[in-house]
Amino acid sequence: MIKNNATKKWLIQRLLGLFLAPLMIWFLLNIIAVYNKSYLEVLIFFSNPMSIFLIFLLLIFGFCHLSMGLNEIFEDYISNKKIKNVANIISRFLSIIIPLVTLFLLIQISL
């Protein structure tokens, strides 16, 4: 197993990217198909169990991947350690809360 933490992150970031690619293609195609449709038609897409499952994966993988990416950007462009840590904490916190709230409400919609 990989012992080094940075190497682990590097690998996870790329694996998440690999999983995300097909999910994003599926999601974007469907969004393009329904983005200017009526409330009901959009609701039908979002309350389909298959859609919910794939959106679940997309949001979990997506927010992990983007939180790691933002972390790297902060690492490169914020010199002050304190500000960097605060930025990381806020972005990680939001990357957990936002997908969870969205998924919770998505399940509420479909019930």
Binding site for another protein (CB under 8 A): 14, 17-18, 21, 24-25, 27-33, 35-36, 38-39, 42-43, 46, 55, 59, 62-63, 66, 69-70, 73, 75-77, 79-81, 98-99, 101-102, 105-106, 108-109
d(CA 108, CA 110): 6
Straight-line distance from the first to the last Cα atom of the chain, in angstroms, rounded to the nearest whole number: 42
User: Cβ closer to another protein: 3 or 104?
Assistant: 104
Smallest distance from another protein to CB 1, Å: 19
User: Cβ closer to another protein: 4 or 79?
Assistant: 79
